[in-house]
Structures are given as C-alpha cells and as structure tokens.
Amino acid sequence: MLQSLSIRDIVLIEALDLEFGSGLSVLTGETGAGKSILLDSLGLALGNRADSGLVRQGTKKAQVTASFDTPIVGSKLALYLHDNDIDVEPGEPLIIKRSVKADGGSKAFVNDQPCSATLLRELGSKLIEIHGQHDDRGLINPKGHRTLLDTYAGADGAKVRQAFEGWQSAKSVLKKALDDQEAAEQDREYLEHSVAELSKFAPQPGEEQELALERATMMKGEKLTGDLEAIRAAFDGSNGGLASLRAAARRLDRISEDHPLLAEALQAIDRAVIEASEAEEKLNDAAHALTFDPQRLDDMETRLFDLRALARKHRVEGDALPQLLIDLETRLAAISDGGKSLGTLEANVKAAKKDYVDAAETLRLKRTKAAKALDKAVAAELVPLKLDAAQFETLLEPLEEERWGANGIDRIEFLISTNPGAPLAPLGKIASGGELSRFILALKVALAEEGGAKTIIFDEVDRGVGGAVASAIGDRLSRLSDSAQLLVVTHSPQVASKGNAHMLINKSSNGTVSRTDVNALDREGRRQEIARMLSGADVTDEARAQADRLLEGV
C-alpha cells in the first residue's frame, strides 16, 4: 500500500507531502488544477520516462519519493526484491526515490540502493496499477486481452514459449538439413568424381614437402656425381691415399722406438688414418644420399606436379589434400545417408510439435476455465453499474496452425452486448461512451480482485456518466476499496462522496508564478467541495443540502 508521496519542484508543484491511508481516497479539483501533474509525479517514481520537462522552471532538478508498506515475507514482491538484491529490513517501509535533472539525466534508488529504470518499471507495476483516462484504449484492443486473461488465470506461459521455441528450432534444423541435402544432391557427381580421383592418388600428410626435398637432393646429386667419384677415387684402391697412410704407419711402427721423433710421427700418421677413414665414410654416405636415379627423379617429379595440380584444382594447399578427401567422403556419405538423417530430424520436429501442442492445450484449459470465471465476475459487476441487460463474454477460439505462436494456439477477445437479443461484438464497436466506461470499470474490478497490485489508481473512470450511474460507480469503487487501496481522480460528486478521504487539488497564482497544492479536506471542506462540484463556481445552499445527502453515512 502507498503510505506517502513527497514531490519537489515538478512543474507547478514546489513542495508537496501527501499521506495516504487504506480504503478509497478521492482527488478532486477544477479542470487544469494539476491532477495530471500529481499522477505524472507518481508515474516518475514508478519508472515512467524521466522527462526533463517535468522540472519546475528555475530549478535544477525535480524529485519524487514514494513510500510503501513493508513487503510481506514470502510474497511475490518480497521475492522479486530479493532476486534483485534489494534489501528491506523487517518493519521498515519500501522507499522509492527518483530524480530528474533540468539538463537531462535521472537517478533512481530503492531503499537507498541505485537501480535501473527498467527494474523500477517492473517494481512499479507490482506496487501500483494505474488506469488512466485513455486506458480503455488498451482494454478495447484485442491484442491485450490474452495477457489480461492469462493474468486473471494465473497462467504462466513460459512452458508454452519454451516449447514453441524448441519446435521452431527443430524446424530450422530440419530445413537447413533439407537445403544441405538438396545442395549436396546437386554436387553428387562432383563429389563422386573428386573422391575417386583423390582416393586413387592417395595423398599423404606432409608428402609435398618430402617429395620436394628428395627431388632437390637428387638434382644436386646429378651435379656433384663427377666430383664425388674423383674424390672417392683418391681414397680407394691399393694406391689410394688412405692405403698409403696405412702402409707408412706399419713401416714406421717397426722403427718408431729408434728415435723419439719417429714415435711422434707415428702418432700423427695414426691420427691422419682415423680422420681419413671418417672422411671416406662421410663421402660414401653422401654418395649414397645424392645418388642420381633418372627414373626415380622422373617418378618423383610426376607425382609432385600431379599433387600440386590437384591442390590448385581444389583451391587448397598440397598438405590439405588428405583432409579434403576425408571431408568430401563425409559429404558424399551424408548424401547417401541423408534419408536416415532426415528421418531423425523429422521425428524431432514431430516430437517438438507435440510438446508444444500439449503445453498449449494445457494453457487453453486454464484459459477456458478462467474465461468462464471472468465472464461470471464481470456479469456480477454489470447489474450494480446499471447495465442489467448487458452481456460480457470472453471469446476463446482456436487459431489456424500457421498463426500459432509463443503465446499459444488461441485467439482471445472480449465481446459485449448491451441490448437483449443483440449479438455479441467487440467492446469498442458496441458500447456508447458512458456504457464503455462502466464496462471498463467492471472488467478492471474483476481483474483487479485477482491478486493484482494492492494499490489501484482510477483517473476519471466515471467520465461521460452522471446521476444514478455515477452513484453506482461510486458504490462499486467503495466496495472494491475493502480489498485494495484505491486512489480515484474524479469530477463526479457522487463518486467523490464515497471516499474515506478527500483531497482537493488547487492551482493558485500571484500574477507571475503559478503553483499547485493538495489539501486534505475535513468534513466541512468535503461538503463545500462536493457542493461546488454540484453547482459550479457559485455554491448554493441547495447544493450544500444535496452534498449533505450524498455524504450521509460517511
């Protein structure tokens, strides 16, 4: 419940502090006195767009502070606050503070904790329900009827939305698979030829580099063959250098003891023999590695050139050919196995559709039950509002499959009939202005009593009616205030007389500056204001007497 509202520097309001109680509070005043400013101020606190035009001229910022009862432990409101890390101490009020600067920009706090405008709007919708002067447009529009019925039913459409998304996802996967299958079928001949060609060639990982290296080595061998043979000839045979060194070493070994220098010479020749042997070994290994084989070179060049030609043909690097073969074989296999894969995906779509339909049918049952209850609830409100012959019905009919969506498989619309025997038709096409206001009130009352916000604001819901009808509206608002806090902006004396509290909105001017004030009226003040509403600017004794009659029992 809204406890208090503090307004600073908004349009014509310099400073205003209002206290609110339970039951029905009415706000009255001359046209243009500033009732809309009051509602705009409250709307700012509840997350409406922060318009710098609200800032009173000559000031730097405007600010609104709204205080509410402590949320009940375990309630949806308390859980919402907890989920968003907003702390409320037991027994302490929930305080919302919002400011907007004259040069743009705004700040919002909930219990001194900063919050976003989005969070503030969501929180505000849970605290106060506002029905403005043109709110009937939303209720007339069938696009909003489904949401209203679901709220009344307490139906959570999350399961239907999730099932619908799952169904659509499965359909997308199947469509892509069908598109891929069609494209693959068009490529079958190319794939079969490419796989056969690559399989026959059988490219190996790293083969291009190995072939290029071996080819380069062999071509070097062709150039070095003559030199290698001449060098090796110097080592080979009985007359070769290595054989001569070994012979000299044997002779020197027999005489090395005859003189120290001969021993040193022997050691040097031994080292030379060892080095020469290693050189001969390296020469033989090099000769083997650089062996020039014209046929082998021709075979290598042919394969290397063919490998590179295939790579250019498929627009890949030579080393990528083995993986390309695997990929093409996979695509070809997918074509061959496409029927089986598509069958699985089609089964997935069928199962997902069934899940969606089951969820939507369950939601439809809740909607059907709620629609009957809502029709009954609205019908009970029509008689007190002097619409005895009127009928209200919630239309719930199945949609064609192509129009199914995340919100279910039903079309929902509120229909009325105002005269006996007249067919039911959409709200906006049947009711007159006064009838429409009463239908809207009946519908709002029925919806509001289903666990909605504990504070409800009606802004001139009684417009276009008077006399007994206005009195009936006042009676119904009064009864509704037994279960919710009601704030009603009205121009009807019959409605104003039903309030538990009465606030008068005044606009005054000193010639240069205008300002709006709100004053709580006592019994005599209410009598005078209701008399003014009855008679106009000149309040007569007769109007005061009629005001007394309206206030009897209050």
Per-residue pLDDT 10s for the chain (554 aa) are: 999 999 999 988 888 899 999 999 999 988 776 788 888 889 899 988 888 889 988 899 999 999 999 888 878 888 888 888 888 888 889 999 999 998 888 999 999 899 988 899 889 888 888 776 555 555 677 888 888 899 888 888 889 999 999 999 999 999 988 887 787 777 788 888 999 999 999 999 988 888 888 777 776 656 656 566 656 566 665 566 677 777 777 777 777 777 788 788 878 877 877 887 787 777 676 666 656 567 877 888 888 899 999 999 999 998 999 999 998 888 888 777 666 778 889 999 999 999 999 999 999 999 999 999 999 999 988 888 888 888 899 999 999 999 999 999 999 999 988 888 788 888 767 656 667 777 878 887 787 655 556 788 888 777 767 778 888 888 888 888 888 889 998 888 999 999 999 999 988 877 667 788 888 999 999 999 999 988 877 888 888 999 999 888 66
Measure Cα distances from 36 to 8, 139, 236, 443, 509 in Å. 15, 21, 117, 24, 18
User: Cα-Cα-Cα-Cα dihedral of 469, 471, 477, 482, to 10°?
Assistant: -140
| Closest CA relative to residue 16, chosen from 33, 36, 41, 47 | 41
With H, G, I as helix, E, B as strand and everything else as coil, classify residue 478.
Answer: helix
Question: What is the token pair recorded at 23?
Answer: 């039951």
Which residues of the chain form CATH 3.40.50.300?
Answer: 1-133+460-520
Place of tokens 């060639």: 201
Cα–Cα distance between 550 and 531 in angstroms, integer? Answer: 10
**334/176 Cα distance (integer angstroms):** 14
CATH class of the domain at 1-133+460-520: alpha beta
The amino acid present at 171, given as its one-letter code, is K
φ, ψ for residue 291 (rounded to 5)? -60, 125
pTM for this predicted structure:
0.61
Burial category of 225 from C-beta neighbours within 10 Å (exposed 0-12, middle 13-18, buried 19 and up): middle
Q: How far apart are the first and last CA of the chain?
A: 22
Angle of helix 321-336 relative to helix 294-314, nearest 10 degrees, comes to 50
**Maximum separation of any 2 CA atoms in the chain, in Å:** 163
